[in-house]
Amino acid sequence: MLFDDGGKSMLELAGITKTFGRHKALSDVSLRVFPGEIHGIVGLNGSGKSTLLNIMSGSPVIQNTGGYEGQICIKGRPHRLGSPIDSLNAGIGMIHQELSLMDMMTIAENIKLGREHVFPMGRKLLGRSFARINPGKNKADAQKAFGRIGLTVNPDQRVLDLSASMKRFVEVAREIDKEALCVLLLDEPTASLNHLDSKRLMALLRDIAEKGMAVVFVSHRIDEVMMICQGITVLQGGSVRARFDAPMFDARKISHAMVGGHVIKVQRTHAPHHVRPILNLRNFSATAPGGCVGPVDLDVMDGEILGVTGLSGHGKSALASGIMGMHPWSGTVMFEGKKIDDLQPDHMVSKGLTLLPGNRRDSMLHDHSVMDNIVFTAVQSKKRFVRGFFAGKIGLSDKKKSRTYAGECVSQYHIHCRSIHQKAGELSGGNQQKVCLARALASRPRILFVNEPTRGIDVNAREVILALLLQVNEQKNTTIMITSGEMDELKRICHRIAVFYQGNCVGIFSPETDDQTFDRAFSGDVQGRE
């Protein structure tokens, strides 16, 4: 027991300090979470949120880099969390930002993985490892776990066929199925969900907390944290900057504590310059692993910012990658009035269409420098920054021009890095996204497809990225198609918003349209045109 509260708290952290080499990632962080409480932890990228969660979940990264200082108590008993097993035994469950499920396994198999029921005779004869698994009992347990979160599922269904939100619920069910679980840690659980799915997940977390569990909720979405949490701890530079208790939450004060200043939200002010279409889709369909789109008819206007939204698994993200020719497609695509017969990524990039995927792992070279990343697509598709011989094919990169351009991007896009030669993989999520954006813009695209540009990044970086997109659209007349589940952001910067339901475009709405109409459109309940 670290705090004098009569041993009531479920989770107690005292003086948690963690250093990576010379860098102090956490400094004297203390925290208390009571049973039934949902406690929010907010902070900018690099403020130490993930390190704190990694310590509590016994991540090997912490142990391999010298461990941590300070004390952790669960239900008043001190624990040294040196491995994920220690954490599990202490009653801590963790849900990571990225889904960690076996796609080819069933729901029941995923939930019981490593803790399967086996037939007793087999266990006696061959031991637990070689005994035959009892599928009936495992399924019953999976159904029971889902019952606790108020959902009914077929435990034999493969995880591959589930929507992103359902996969998240499987993870929650997996954690609460653990008998000793008393503290649940969630790292950006709603980052990959749209707002309706996020609402479902938050309702579920409230139910779990009411049953006596302590929940630690880490998110960049301040509104969600304020809605669900009873206490909020703000981290800044590895230290506790402020604490807030419900109901004394004030979004401005929380943002101020996180950023150390006020965040100015960007807002589109200009109408598009032209009204002629630049991209026409007719009867267009595409099949991507995350969902299918089409057949759809859509006109993208020259110089506009078009938002594309919908529930996860309803085809919104398949649209851009389909147009880029990255997945099987059918239908007609016309760019600047000319029909494109063969959609291939290299053809489309050379025509001036660029895609920025939502997954940052796919959109950068982590082991290469910031400079190499920024100029890469321009070098390959536009032969910029190349000292060419043999018609530029075997050209060497022009280091001087690349350095100058990368330096300009770093200062213009507020990329926080040690130098342009720092490895891009070492930057924080927000800065990586800025590098990705700088890379996409260096090839001077006519149309920029951006998938989830602000996923998993802090309020400050989010506004910088939205401002950049607006700036590029207004100053360079670049047509932008943003695929996102963040309605607030789409409403602030888009000229039009297309909503997709079951692969079809149910309507294109003005950003001024009210939330209820959008909610109905998400469930395919309303047809609308601007």
Partner 1 sequence: MIRRLTGLFQEMCKAVSKKVTLHIPVPQVCISLFLLLLFCVALRIDIPVSWLISDALIRLVMNGVLVLALVPMLKTGIGLNFGLPVGILAGLVGLCVAVNFRMTGLAGLFYAMVISIPIAALFGMIYAFILNRVKGREEITATFVGFSFVPLMNFFWAVAPFSNPSMLWPIGGQGMRPAIGLKRYFAKSLNSLGSFSLAGVTIPLGMILFFLALCFAVHLFFKTRLGQAMMATGENERFALISGIKIRNMRTIAIVMSTVIAALGICVYAQSYGFIELYDAPMMMAFPAVSAILVGGSLKEKTTLTHVILGTFLFQTIYSVSGPVANDLLIPEVAEIFRLMITNGVILAALLYEGGRHKKI
What is the binding site for partner 1 (CB under 8 A)? 60, 64, 324, 326, 345-346, 348-350, 354-355, 357, 361-368, 376-377, 379-381, 383, 386, 392-397
Minimum CB separation of residue 125 from partner 1 in Å reads 30
Minimum CB separation of residue 150 from partner 1 in Å reads 35
Check if the beta carbon of residue 465 is closer than 8 Å to that of residue 457.
yes
Element (H, E) at 504: strand 504-509
Q: Reduce the DSSP state of residue 186 to 3 states and report it.
A: strand
Buried b (16+ CB within 10 A) or exposed e, 287-315: bbebbbbbebebebbbbbbbbbbbbbbbb
Looking at the Cβ atoms of 260 and 345, the one nearer to partner 1 is 345
Minimum CB separation of residue 346 from partner 1 in Å reads 4
Q: Reduce the DSSP state of residue 293 to 3 states and report it.
A: strand
Question: Residue 128 CB: number of other CB atoms within 10 A?
Answer: 10
Choose among 314, 335, 308: nearest CA to 323.
Answer: 335
Element (H, E) at 233: strand 231-236
Minimum CB separation of residue 386 from partner 1 in Å reads 6
Minimum CB separation of residue 344 from partner 1 in Å reads 8
| Tokens standing for residue 501 | 């339901």
Looking at the Cβ atoms of 364 and 466, the one nearer to partner 1 is 364
Looking at the Cβ atoms of 66 and 260, the one nearer to partner 1 is 66
Looking at the Cβ atoms of 234 and 333, the one nearer to partner 1 is 333
Minimum CB separation of residue 440 from partner 1 in Å reads 9
Percentages helix, strand, coil for the chain, rounded to the nearest 5? 35, 25, 40
SS3 letters across 145-158: HHHHCCCCCCCCCE
CA angle 339-509-271, nearest 5°?
A: 75
Looking at the Cβ atoms of 338 and 393, the one nearer to partner 1 is 393
Bridging pattern class, strands 214-218 and 38-43: parallel
| Tokens standing for residue 9 | 């708290």
Residue with tokens 């435990």: 155
Looking at the Cβ atoms of 332 and 359, the one nearer to partner 1 is 359
Minimum CB separation of residue 365 from partner 1 in Å reads 5
Looking at the Cβ atoms of 241 and 384, the one nearer to partner 1 is 384
